[in-house]
Amino acid sequence: MRLYDTLTRRVKEFAPREPGHVRMYNCGPTVYRRNHLGNYRAYATADLLRRTFELLGWRVTQVMNITDVGHLTEDDVADAAGEDKLQKEAQQRKLDPWQIAREVEGWFHEDRRTLRILDAHRYPRATEHIPEMIAMIEALVANGHAYAADGNVYFSVGSFPSYGALSGNTVEKLDAGASGRVEERSDKRSPHDFALWKHDPKHLMQWDSPWGRGFPGWHIECSAMSRKYLGDTFDLHTGGPDNIFPHHECEIAQSESVTGKPFVRHWVHCGWLTLGGEKMSKRAGKIHTVPELVEMGYAGADIRLFLLKQHYRAPLPFRLELLDEAREIRKRFNNFIRQERPPGPPDSEAADAARARFRAALEDDLNTSEALAVLHELMTTVNRTGAGADEAVRFLREADRVLAILDEPDEAPDAEIERLMAEREAARRSRDFKRSDAIRDELLKRGIELLDTPQGTRWRRK
């Protein structure tokens, strides 16, 4: 498997440190507001990685955090300023921040299920790992990488010489104003130092600590939770493009300063979802959420395919025509699978070749457009030659364990549908039209449409 690594800026071999077992951490949602599609691009990429690893026969331990405290509004600088996003939302909506966090976390799970994103093995919440964060901060203070000042604790960026390796934002570049603002505070030794623990008497979520009551900085949360569940060094860390700096840059500095070991072996970041040429952040105009798109008539799998068919690192323009295109592609796949054909000669050659090429495409830095092209070609070949249709359908279903874009596999439901159809046929024969209509309606509710043809009744999914 070859995969681009943000840290070394090249496509390199990816193999888990423990043979056959990948340990992966994904930066998850900050649960103050329903996430928009830009966030889901990162989660869908993580899901694609997980499914690809499983296709390769590796076991995956996947951890995705839930940030329910400490993520401040001005998060493009290492030492974020402004208000806690949850706190701000709580004040605006006159609700308890805990209540908002749980509500939005629920929406997150709802939306990711709509997009067929598999359950991670753990979803640790920041608020449930405060002791682990405090322990890590204590270790950083003890070994001189951090210092306390007036109830705040700061990480001393100057103590970590390779700061900036991931993002390019070295202290020299930051001094030259590369990243714009820095948070100047009188209690900091350097303007680039960032908070590990914050003292703020007005904050609604606070915990006791050796430095007084306060709350953790966003970056230390992921350092502490990833270490707890995946160890000092793990295989893969993912996130959105906005996480590279400052969030992941700071995670590396904290984690490596505590353990003295390499933190992450491979960094993967997806590209931006762009809107009218601008990156799709909360500031860039119309923000689409998953339910908004579903309301507009797109299936979750349409949205998923829209997110996955472009290479994960390329910028992806958010345009409804691209969602329409994804819907048409899915239609072609689903029709191919359901199509009734005259029995053709068995032939596994085309499907076997496609299987090898599909896998090779994914192993090549997740080349999904090539992987989809392989499937298209296979369908074209089968349609032309009439041979190997069963083998092709079987392979498409196999490929769908990674892509997850086909209509739900219908083996089991088929039997149920056939049973109801037989029951309806019997009802019609005995002129019990009330019963036969009821069965038709019942199936329609499940998205199954019955077609009475001279050859008998057929069904199709709507």
- Residue in the structure block whose two tokens are 């966030």: 39
- CB of 253: closest distance to Zn ion in angstroms? 14
Q: Does 230 bind Zn ion (CB under 5 A)?
A: no
Q: Does 270 bind Zn ion (CB under 5 A)?
A: no
Give 237 or 355: the residue with its C-beta nearer to Zn ion. 237
Give 65 or 310: the residue with its C-beta nearer to Zn ion. 65
Give 449's strand partners: 460
Give 42 or 222: the residue with its C-beta nearer to Zn ion. 222
Only one of the segments 94-102, 196-204, 218-226, 256-264 lies at the binding site for Zn ion (rule: CB under 5 A); that segment is 218-226
- CB of 232: closest distance to Zn ion in angstroms? 17
Give 27 or 205: the residue with its C-beta nearer to Zn ion. 27
Residues 335, 53: Cα–Cα separation, whole Å:
28
**Helix H or strand E segment including 370:** helix 368-385
CB distance 327 to 302 below 8 Å? yes
**Helix H or strand E segment including 423:** helix 411-429
- CB of 247: closest distance to Zn ion in angstroms? 5
Residue 35, CB-side half-sphere exposure with 13 Å CA sphere: 26
- CB of 210: closest distance to Zn ion in angstroms? 24
CB distance 11 to 48 below 8 Å? no
Only one of the segments 23-31, 87-95, 209-217, 345-353 lies at the binding site for Zn ion (rule: CB under 5 A); that segment is 23-31
Residues 191, 146: Cα–Cα separation, whole Å:
14
Would you say the C-alpha torsion 375, 379, 382, 384 has a positive or negative sign?
negative
Would you say the C-alpha torsion 77, 81, 85, 88 has a positive or negative sign?
negative
* Eight-class DSSP state of 215: E
- CB of 129: closest distance to Zn ion in angstroms? 12
CB distance 256 to 250 below 8 Å? no
How many residues belong to the site for Zn ion (CB under 5 A)?
2
- CB of 25: closest distance to Zn ion in angstroms? 8
Q: Does 78 bind Zn ion (CB under 5 A)?
A: no
Give 244's strand partners: none
Retrieve residue 271's tokens.
């590209």
Q: Does 27 bind Zn ion (CB under 5 A)?
A: yes
- CB of 65: closest distance to Zn ion in angstroms? 6
Give 269 or 424: the residue with its C-beta nearer to Zn ion. 269
Would you say the C-alpha torsion 64, 70, 71, 75 has a positive or negative sign?
negative
- CB of 307: closest distance to Zn ion in angstroms? 20
Name which of 219, 163, 216 is nearest 190 in CA terms.
Answer: 163
Only one of the segments 164-172, 216-224, 287-295, 322-330 lies at the binding site for Zn ion (rule: CB under 5 A); that segment is 216-224
Only one of the segments 27-35, 281-289, 290-298, 383-391 lies at the binding site for Zn ion (rule: CB under 5 A); that segment is 27-35
Q: What character string, x for contact with Zn ion (CB under 5 A) and - otherwise, covers 99-128? A: ------------------------------
Give 52 or 243: the residue with its C-beta nearer to Zn ion. 243
Instruction: Give the helix ranges, DSSP H, for 262-348.
Output: 290-295, 300-309, 320-338
Only one of the segments 21-29, 186-194, 399-407, 430-438 lies at the binding site for Zn ion (rule: CB under 5 A); that segment is 21-29
* Eight-class DSSP state of 157: G
Q: What character string, x for contact with Zn ion (CB under 5 A) and - otherwise, covers 34-73? A: ----------------------------------------
Give 231 or 317: the residue with its C-beta nearer to Zn ion. 231
Judged by phi (left if over 0) then psi (alpha if -120 to 50, else beta), residue 9 lies in left
Q: Does 222 bind Zn ion (CB under 5 A)?
A: yes
Residues 255, 8: Cα–Cα separation, whole Å:
18
- CB of 410: closest distance to Zn ion in angstroms? 39
- CB of 27: closest distance to Zn ion in angstroms? 3
- Can you give the binding site for Zn ion, defined by CB under 5 A? 27, 222
